[in-house]
Structure 1
Amino acid sequence: MNDPHHEEMIRMPSLAPVTGDTARRLHQLIEPVHLVAYFADEPDQALLALGLRNTWDAYFAGRAAPLGHAPAEVVDAVFYNFAPGEVARHIPHVWTITTPEAALTARRQGCTAALRRILGDLAGTTTLTRAADLATTAATSAPTHGRALYAALRTLPIPDEPVARLWHAATLLREHRGDGHNAALVAAGIGGTEAHVLHALAEGMRPEQFGRIHHLPTAQLTAVVDGMRDRGLIDDSGLLSDVGRKTKEHIESITDEFAAAAYTCLSPSERDQLAADLEPIAAALNAAGPHF
């Protein structure tokens, strides 16, 4: 990528180590910025205006667009946690309707509009601009090896406008973490649907109640749960076993450690500043509720 703005954001890593706890704290503050892509109306409206059929078309077109015209098998591998056949219902069909370039533009414009609406006066503050700059520095600093979606996002130009730049940085950091999370799941031998079951049970929900898998055929979900029980991850009552809880905790800990690489370029004071600047932004987004 030959974007001069991008080049300005890259630094040599600092000597100050970054702990997994710090990476998790910053993730909790940056994640609400990215989540407008999935829960606010404006991104869906912008993508549906391209002629897409439904919100899942919009999801796959918007999120997979950095990968270009990658086939469903590649998108499924990168996204990791969709049930067999789900990706193929949308990829490559969405690319017969629109282009990855148009989807990227629509998604960015929709997310920027959503953030401006929700944040109100915060959107025009020096606090947000500084957060966007620090987040972008972090987001463009991490190694791309083994992180396919993050690497694809790194090829995109960085927006000049602060709100758009903050959302872009949040997306980079979120997908950098997500790629690392997938690696942790693979290392632990946890498949995509199993990851949802593990998360649901850790949150005190039955798998059939969890939004990302509740729609699966009963026999399919039962087979996954039975397989996890056979491996000792779920006990006879259908709850997480000690092994299951330890597996979940280990995966989350490794994910935090992998995510820390993005923040090593920031000094301790810059990391503190980023957290302080993100706090009112995250608070405003969280207060707006899960559907913004």
Structure 2
Amino acid sequence: MDSQRTQNIRTVSARLNSFHSAMYFSETVGRKYAEYGLEPGVEGNLAARSAPMGRVNAGVVSAAYYNYSHSFVASLIPKLWETVSPEDMIRARFEAVSAFMSELFDDREDIALLTEAATELATATAPVLANMDFSGRPLAAATADALAGHEPNTAFEQLWDVATIAREFRGDGHVSSLVTAGVPGIDALMLDVATGASFKPRAAQKTRGYTDEEWKGAQSRLAAAGLITVGEDDRGFDLPAITDAGRDLREQVEQLTDGTVAAAWSALADEEIEALVSPSRTLIKVLAQSGAFPASVFAQPAKKTS
């Protein structure tokens, strides 16, 4: 693919991903999930994202998520479905999205401008979704089926639907690309952390459920391979930093991932994709300024707007 076209697809895809995932850290969302008997945070989010696949076992969930600890997932799935059914969890997720978007946008003076941006983005990417082939993409396919039953109340909820399907579609392709490149899930997570522009190390380890032994093992393995170096943060915790070789490996995986979504994005011309950069930037700035990506979790949340 043309390099500028590819970069624009990556940029818009990353912003759609951020629009989807901002709710994961919301106290409002956590309270909504608590109404269904779930612990806010990791437990509620795990149930919400996996619910479209139904009452599958832990192996299916951890395989689809890829960079979560299987033993951690198995400690929650399928036990979670004794608390709330997948069907009820899908409904809870829609309610949480509505509450989150209302909190984020309803009282803003520029809501007309933001609504226009959300509508433009959702409408313009509709041909991409229509062009998606979900074969071999179990999480994306299940999510798309579940969202087909959602009736969004606002342009922001409509965009969340679009963003969620696009995120899971590229995500399934990314998992395939990691498998092709021979990068295990924990290594992929460690390399992401090592860029310094994503999760903080302790937050990544905790939310994905890895033990200290597993985390240090991956860290040592990647350091020995020359993919990261390991220093210390200001509290004395290990702080991995990616090397040029690590960046090259990540770029190799991203190029493979680009190929998995190229057919879907072929529905839009270069100039149509480029036109999505501005409205997506407008919306992601609101998320970043709202504190949707907390500094306790992310190393540099401001990069979400770039």
Alignment-derived partner of residue 139 in structure 2 = 149
Match of residue 164, structure 1, among 145, 157, 170: 157
Alignment of 1:90 onto 2:76: yes
Alignment-derived partner of residue 220 in structure 1 = 214
Match of residue 263, structure 1, among 246, 262, 265: 265
For 2:116 and 2:213, locate their aligned partners in 1 and report how far apart those are by CA, in whole Å.
Answer: 54
1:265 Cα offset (Å): 1.5
Instruction: For structure 2, list consecutive stretches of 5 or more residues without a partner in the other structure.
Output: 232-239, 295-306
Q: Could you report, residue by residue, the CA deviation over 1:238-288 in whole angstroms, capped at 9, with x for unpaired residues?
A: 754443231122122332343343322123443344333323212211211
Equivalent residue pairs, number:
276
| Larger mean Cα displacement after TM superposition, 264-273 or 30-39 | 264-273
Report the CA distance shift for 1:209/1:130 in structure 2 as closer, same or farther (over 3 A). Answer: closer
Alignment-derived partner of residue 299 in structure 2 = none
**Residue 276 of structure 2 aligns to a residue in which SS?**
helix
Match of residue 106, structure 1, among 82, 86, 92: 92
Alignment of 1:200 onto 2:184: no
Match of residue 211, structure 1, among 203, 206, 219: 203
| Larger mean Cα displacement after TM superposition, 264-273 or 187-196 | 264-273
| Larger mean Cα displacement after TM superposition, 276-285 or 257-266 | 257-266
1:141 Cα offset (Å): 2.4
Instruction: For structure 1, list consecutive stretches of 5 or more residues without a partner in the other structure.
Output: 1-15
**Cα pair 2:173 2:260 within 8 Å, conserved:** yes
| Larger mean Cα displacement after TM superposition, 27-36 or 215-224 | 215-224
Alignment-derived partner of residue 190 in structure 1 = 183
How much is the aligned-residue C-alpha RMSD, in angstroms? 2.9
**Residue 69 of structure 1 aligns to a residue in which SS?**
coil
| Larger mean Cα displacement after TM superposition, 207-216 or 182-191 | 207-216
1:70 Cα offset (Å): 0.9
Alignment of 1:116 onto 2:108: no
Report the CA distance shift for 1:268/1:223 in structure 2 as closer, same or farther (over 3 A). Answer: closer
What percentage of residue pairs aligned between the two structures are identical? 26
Alignment-derived partner of residue 64 in structure 1 = 50
**Residue 139 of structure 2 aligns to a residue in which SS?**
helix
1:170 Cα offset (Å): 0.5
Report the CA distance shift for 1:116/1:72 in structure 2 as closer, same or farther (over 3 A). Answer: same
1:153 Cα offset (Å): 1.4
Alignment-derived partner of residue 288 in structure 1 = 290
Counterpart amino acid of residue 281 in structure 1 = L
Alignment of 1:25 onto 2:8: no
Counterpart amino acid of residue 215 in structure 2 = L
For 2:126 and 2:197, locate their aligned partners in 1 and report how far apart those are by CA, in whole Å.
Answer: 35
1:66 Cα offset (Å): 0.9
Q: Could you report, residue by residue, the CA deviation over 1:24-43 in whole angstroms, capped at 9, with x for unpaired residues?
A: 11123322310233122232
Match of residue 249, structure 2, among 247, 250, 256: 247
1:50 Cα offset (Å): 0.6
Q: Give the structure, 1 or 2, with the largest relative contact order (CA under 8 Å, sep 6 or more).
A: 1
For 1:74 and 1:99, locate their aligned partners in 2 and report how far apart those are by CA, in whole Å.
Answer: 17
Report the CA distance shift for 1:86/1:123 in structure 2 as closer, same or farther (over 3 A). Answer: farther
**Residue 78 of structure 2 aligns to a residue in which SS?**
coil
**Cα pair 2:25 2:41 within 8 Å, conserved:** no
TM-score w.r.t. length of structure 2: 0.79
For 2:151 and 2:4, locate their aligned partners in 1 and report how far apart those are by CA, in whole Å.
Answer: 27
1:73 Cα offset (Å): 0.7
1:221 Cα offset (Å): 2.1
1:204 Cα offset (Å): 7.8
| Larger mean Cα displacement after TM superposition, 276-285 or 132-141 | 132-141
Report the CA distance shift for 1:54/1:33 in structure 2 as closer, same or farther (over 3 A). Answer: closer
1:192 Cα offset (Å): 1.0
| Larger mean Cα displacement after TM superposition, 261-270 or 235-244 | 235-244
1:79 Cα offset (Å): 0.4
For 1:208 and 1:168, locate their aligned partners in 2 and report how far apart those are by CA, in whole Å.
Answer: 28
Report the CA distance shift for 1:56/1:114 in structure 2 as closer, same or farther (over 3 A). Answer: same
